[in-house]
Amino acid sequence: FSFRRIRQSTSQENCVLYFEGCGEEYKNYMVRLLTYLPGTNLLGIPADPQILYKIGRTLAQINKALTEFKHPNIESLRRDSYDWNLSNIHQLHKYLFAVKNTSDRQIVEQIIQQFMKKILPNINNFHKSIIHGDFSHTNILVQPLHSSADCSNAAGHMQQELEISGILDFGEMACGYYVYDVAICIMYLTLDSEDPLHVGGHILAGFESVIPLTLQERDALYLLVLCRFSQSLVFGTYNILLYPDNEEYLLTTLRTGWKHLRQLWELGKEAVEKVWFETAKSYLTL
């Protein structure tokens, strides 16, 4: 897999301070230059089973590579108090006031309760690793595998076999657990899917072709996906109050996220797992 690399300045620095002024007013900006990666991200592109499988497999390959990662400052990746750490789902309580829909707020509260009761006591049984932390549709670059293989589906959308051309944004890297990265990935790839319920199965199949999850990790996956939905939706709603000028970006998840969270919650763990695990199992016979 490919990722962007920093290009140093002429003074051998990774970042440089840039001053921009108008009259007596000046603003300071930190600027860095990164190498270019080809492709486009998956935002707004419904991912088919083939690319979802590749995404799951690539994520596992990254997790496996990061297991061997060593650095003198590796302790900085132990982000134990970070709001976006799935282990800190309870910290959502202080932001829930921003969610005005009572039913949605109650769903999130119940998800937090279930995490504290069912997952937190068993968390040390999960495989530990350094994780990407934000393996989302906006951070995965794809491009056509064969430019001559274009065809249209029944809805008239152009279909191409895609390959992953690069991975962006390692800024959320942290010490965590394999299953956290899988849950985060499933949550974000669900957003633009034309078949959202099956997304988890295709990603899981790809991931487990490299790193099989344990029974305990599989048992936690459904609730962890709901936890990530809760984090993204609550933080997004809260941040719109703080930064209304950035609403368009913050609505990326909110536009469809609440609908998907409600659907998964209403279907329940058993029904969703049945779809995911049967979909993943079907790859074993191919």
Catalytic residue list contains 134: yes
Q: Residue 224: how many CB atoms within 10 A of its CB?
A: 25
Gap between the Cα atoms of 129 and 146, Å rounded: 35
| HSE, side-chain direction, 13 A CA sphere, residue 226 | 26
Give the phi and the psi of residue 129 in degrees, each rounded to 5: -165, 165
In sequence order, which residues have a C-beta less than 8 Å from that of residue 167 and are 6 or more positions away?
A: 1, 2, 3, 58, 62, 132, 135, 139, 140, 141
Beta strand pairing status for 158-159 and 140-144? unpaired
- With beta carbons less than 8 A apart as the criterion, state whether 135 and 188 touch: yes
In sequence order, which residues have a C-beta less than 8 Å from that of residue 151 and are 6 or more positions away?
A: 158, 159, 160
Query: 48, 80, 134, 150: which one is catalytic?
Result: 134
Residue 129 β-bridge partners:
176
* Catalytic residue ranges: 134
